[in-house]
Amino acid sequence: MKIATVLGTRPEIIKMAPIIDEISKRGIDQIILHTGQHYDKEMSDNFFRDLEIPAPDYNIQVGSGTHGRQTGLMMKGIEEVLLEEKPDIVLVQGDTNAVLAGALVASKLHIAIGHVEAGLRSFDMTMPEEVNRRAADVCSAMYFIPTEESAINLLAEGFSRKNMFITGNTVVDACFRHLEIAKKKGFEEESLAALDIENMENILTLTMHRAENVDDKQRVTSIIEALKELSDMNIIFPIHPRTKNTLQNFGLFDELNDLDHVHIIKPVGYLDFLQLTSASTLILTDSGGLQEEAITLDVPALTLRYNTERPETVTAGGNILVGSDKEVILENARKILDDKEFADKMKNAPNPYGMGDSAKLTVDAIEDYYNRGLLDITAPEDIMGSFTRKMAQITEDITVTEFEQKENALIHMVFDGQKMVFPADDLNIKDMCVTYDARE
């Protein structure tokens, strides 16, 4: 079996690293294809080094640009590589332009696609990421889904649960694997080492790069106004290159940089960043990955967004959406700082993203599909006949699998009277309502 991984940005490298490592350990043939969307050493190479994964076999160096141009160039480059390499499956991760390009190209070549971190939805189609992740899900053959909530999103859109694997998120694997190594190593980046983090109190780690925040002068100004007032915190801000550019263009960079309690540094490597976040009192962010890492590292998070495709973090109590509203940011930051009980509750929020075995579960599922010939994408030859979409209230003790065998059916959705639940094969559906396709 040959597995191709398409990646292009910092979070994809971090989250695919545990899977790349697992594939290597099992001796499976693999290629890594970097689109080159992130190209600065601080946004790319340093992560291959810190996470100890092999350098990409191909880098198609698309660089920065508009979405159409960037995605088009990626598609051209990815197609050339896939035609040459002929992998059995292409893995894409998350919601960047690499995911969209990789999924579109592979599906047209009839190569199976595994979408890692599938099923997330912000329900905000103005976000490029929402478009990317939805399109990738349409093209995919295997869905590696972090939580039951995200699986239910896919079920509600009509995807078959047979190809869904609830694996947790590989970000937990990466965090658990590297935190102790990071702590022993100390800080690599000089500007961070110079801050004497070990003896610092009230650390607020800030990251923001989301287009809807940093490209909007009003929003970013409001966030900066809040930062100015948090003068009893040490705000450490490893700045994303996009954000540095836009703050400079808006004439806001120097004003922020001149504040004594704000330390703007360049983006740091993964091991440095893990040490920084785990030593923080609070994380203020619009990053997707950081919302997950915060709850994994037991650090309260305030998210600078009005929606999130990680609602589990909010329900669990570890994350609060504060948008870009100065007063809401300040009120919640103050509470975390001044109200120990409130902060402890956030810290103790249960982690919804699994045990750190997500990469293993993912590669197990891929090997199983390969061995059963399920990665072969061919036009259906069996005659479909007809089926009827039905709904039923179940009154007997029966599992999902038993019901499906009895009725020659495939269950879509299960409703337990309060909420949708994922129809796991061994779920007893007595007293629940199900929707299903019954073959005639």
**Least distance CB 267 / ligand UD1 (angstroms):** 9
For ligand UD1, the binding residue among 5, 10, 78, 352 (CB under 6 A) is 10
Measured CA to CA, the distance from residue 235 to residue 203 in angstroms comes to: 6
Cα 34 → chain centroid: 18
**CB closer to ligand UD1 out of 241 and 317:** 241
Three-class SS string for the chain?
Answer: CEEEEEECCHHHHHHHHHHHHHHHHCCCEEEEEECCCCCCHHHCHHHHHHCCCCCCCEECCCCCCCHHHHHHHHHHHHHHHHHHHCCCEEEEECCCHHHHHHHHHHHHCCEEEEEECCCCCCCCCCCHHHHHHHHHHHHCCEEEECCHHHHHHHHHCCCCHHHEEECCCHHHHHHHHHHHHHHHHCCCCHHHHCCCHHHCCCEEEEECCCHHHHCCHHHHHHHHHHHHHCCCCEEEEECCHHHHHHHHHCCCHHHHHCCCCEEEECCCCHHHHHHHHHCCCEEEECCHHHHHHHHHCCCCEEECCCCCCCHHHHHHCCEEECCCCHHHHHHHHHHHHHCHHHHHHHHCCCCCCCCCCHHHHHHHHHHHHHHCCCCECCCCCCCCCCEEEEEEECCCCCEHHHHHHHHCEEEEEEECCCCEECCCCCCECCCCEEEEEEEC
- Which partner in ligand UDP, ligand UD1, none is near 207 (CB below 5 to 8 A by kind)? ligand UDP
- Contacts by residues 122-125 (CB-CB < 8 Å, ≥ 24 positions apart): 122/307, 122/308, 122/309, 123/307, 124/307
**Least distance CB 124 / ligand UDP (angstroms):** 14
- Which partner in ligand UD1, ligand UDP, none is near 293 (CB below 5 to 8 A by kind)? ligand UDP
**CB closer to ligand UDP out of 13 and 413:** 13
Amino acid at the residue 25: K
Q: Give me the residues that bind ligand UDP (CB under 6 A), please.
A: 10-11, 14, 207, 209, 238, 267-268, 270, 273, 287-290, 293
The region of 7-15, 147-155, 340-348, 413-421 touching ligand UD1 under the rule CB under 6 A is 7-15
The region of 37-45, 81-89, 164-172, 348-356 touching ligand UD1 under the rule CB under 6 A is 37-45
Q: How many residues make contact with ligand UD1 (CB under 6 A)?
A: 19
Measured CA to CA, the distance from residue 267 to residue 269 in angstroms comes to: 7
**CB closer to ligand UDP out of 161 and 178:** 178
Catalytic residue among 34, 38, 209, 412: 209
Listed residue (364, 288, 282) closest to 330, CA to CA: 282
Amino acid at the residue 101: A
**Least distance CB 41 / ligand UD1 (angstroms):** 8
Q: Hey, which residues between 39 and 68 contact ligand UD1 (CB under 6 A)? A: 39-40, 43, 64
**CB closer to ligand UD1 out of 40 and 339:** 40
The region of 38-46, 183-191, 337-345, 370-378 touching ligand UD1 under the rule CB under 6 A is 38-46
- 209 in active site: yes
- Which partner in ligand UD1, ligand UDP, none is near 222 (CB below 5 to 8 A by kind)? none
**CB closer to ligand UD1 out of 74 and 413:** 74
**CB closer to ligand UD1 out of 96 and 362:** 96
Contact between 38 and ligand UD1 by CB under 6 A: the answer reads: yes
**CB closer to ligand UD1 out of 40 and 232:** 40
The region of 48-56, 102-110, 188-196, 241-249 touching ligand UD1 under the rule CB under 6 A is 241-249
**CB closer to ligand UD1 out of 10 and 161:** 10
Listed residue (436, 418, 439, 414) closest to 427, CA to CA: 414
**Least distance CB 299 / ligand UD1 (angstroms):** 20
Q: Hey, which residues between 144 and 183 contact ligand UD1 (CB under 6 A)? A: none
Measured CA to CA, the distance from residue 136 to residue 116 in angstroms comes to: 10
Structure tokens given for 400: 């999902």
- Which partner in ligand UDP, ligand UD1, none is near 238 (CB below 5 to 8 A by kind)? ligand UDP
What mask, x for binding ligand UD1 by CB under 6 A, covers residues 191 to 230? ------------------x---------------------
Contact between 242 and ligand UD1 by CB under 6 A: the answer reads: yes
- Which partner in ligand UDP, ligand UD1, none is near 38 (CB below 5 to 8 A by kind)? ligand UD1
Contact between 35 and ligand UD1 by CB under 6 A: the answer reads: no
Instruction: Point out the residues that are catalytic.
Output: 209
Contacting positions for ligand UD1 (CB under 6 A): 9-11, 37-40, 43, 64, 95-97, 128-129, 209, 240-242, 245
